[in-house]
């Protein structure tokens, strides 16, 4: 699966403490939730974003006004469109290791700035050319955002959302627009800065969003001790990362304890936990089983599968990530 972002500061000693505690913990009692798999959630081409074509290890995308070419290891097939269409790209990620930021992008036409205006479902934000090939948004997540927004709008009460490893904040903005109180956690100061900028651009500065630059596990542990609880938890961890003191996050080592913490921070009227994973060698069934075990005795349903983007040129489905979500 695609590597979402570079190694970043989202781990610390609490991960190891939680992992050690969980390694010998008894399995949770109670019946496991109902299950539904495989579930394929797909994003269709729209006015805000479209996967135009893919193949030969690359993808051609439309982000707002710009066409962008980026590497895509999943695109094992041949391109559907000819070279003439691909040459219309406004930006091509080169990945030159000697360059940083915009230097890792090639602009066939006029040079572009670092950011450009984008929109998702009426929410304005900034796209951004980064040195690690991403552009500040992951459009395949739109299926999760729409599901979450529906839960918030139909809850009939104030919903609290915790967005862990929240990156540049599109999920947080969708939740806030729907009426939720949002806490957004990311260990990258730069990502938090982008998220705040997006909130202002979206015209949602008056919505209750807490932007917190902190280790995710440390924050959740403290919230549990404080008795602070959330109705929806979004969990989108990197495959690998480093903490502020050089601690190493490995998804396979640390995720089980993190899922347990997320269950414990849910309210007594929870709505959902959504786990998404990128850039790992595993089946979605591994995460399905993990979440189903962790939520034993909670009722509800665990749905698991893949997030895909439907291609415009030939209608092929490009898999981007795997997910597992518990829904009350």
pLDDT digits (tens, 9 = 90+) for 156-172: 999 999 999 999 999 99
Asked if residue 80 lies in contact with residue 86, where contact means CB atoms within 8 angstroms, the answer is: no
Does residue 12 register a pLDDT over 50? no
For residue 179, is it within any domain? yes
The rounded distance, in Å, linking the Cα atoms of 218 and 62 is: 38
Task: Determine the angle formed by the axes of helices 251-264 and 284-294, rounding to 10 degrees.
Answer: 30
**Count helices and strands in the chain by DSSP H and E runs:** 8, 17
Residues 38 and 88 in one domain: no
Does residue 83 register a pLDDT over 90? yes
Which range marks the domain in which residue 69 is found?
Answer: 49-128
Q: How confident is the model at residue 32 (pLDDT cuts 50, 70, 90)?
A: very high
Residues 249 and 162 in one domain: yes
For residue 67, is it within any domain? yes
CATH number where 86 lies: 2.60.40.1180
For residue 316, is it within any domain? yes
* Antiparallel, parallel or unpaired: β 115-120 and 105-106: unpaired
């Amino acid at each position: 699966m695609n590597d979402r972002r570079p190694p970043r500061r989202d781990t610390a000693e609490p991960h190891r403490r939680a992992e050690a505690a969980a390694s010998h913990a008894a399995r949770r009692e109670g019946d496991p939730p109902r299950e539904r798999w495989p579930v394929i959630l797909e994003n269709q081409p729209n006015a805000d974003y479209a996967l135009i074509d893919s193949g030969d290890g690359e993808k051609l995308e439309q982000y707002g006004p710009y066409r962008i070419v980026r590497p895509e290891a999943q695109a094992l097939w041949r391109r559907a469109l000819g070279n003439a269409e691909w040459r219309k790209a406004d930006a091509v990620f080169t990945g030159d290791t000697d360059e940083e930021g915009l230097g890792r992008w090639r602009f066939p036409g006029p040079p572009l700035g670092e950011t450009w205006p984008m929109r998702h479902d009426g929410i304005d934000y900034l796209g951004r050319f980064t040195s690690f090939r991403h552009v500040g948004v992951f459009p395949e997540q739109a299926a999760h955002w729409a599901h979450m927004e529906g839960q918030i709008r139909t809850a009939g009460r104030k919903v609290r959302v915790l967005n862990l490893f929240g990156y540049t904040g599109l999920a947080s903005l969708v939740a806030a627009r729907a009426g939720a109180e949002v806490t957004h956690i990311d260990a990258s100061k730069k990502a938090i800065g982008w998220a705040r900028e997006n909130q202002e651009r979206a015209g949602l500065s008056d919505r209750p969003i807490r932007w917190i630059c902190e280790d995710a596990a440390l924050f959740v542990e403290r919230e549990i001790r404080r008795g602070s609880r959330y109705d929806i938890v979004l969990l989108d961890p990197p495959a690998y990362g480093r903490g502020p003191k050089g601690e190493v996050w490995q998804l396979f080592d640390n995720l089980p304890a993190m899922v347990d913490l997320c269950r414990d921070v849910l309210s007594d009227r929870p709505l959902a936990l959504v786990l998404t994973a990128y850039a790992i060698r595993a089946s979605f069934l591994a995460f399905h089983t993990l979440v189903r075990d962790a939520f034993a005795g909670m009722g509800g349903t665990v749905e698991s599968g893949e997030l895909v983007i439907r291609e415009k040129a030939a209608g092929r489905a490009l898999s981007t990530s795997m997910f597992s979500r518990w829904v009350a």
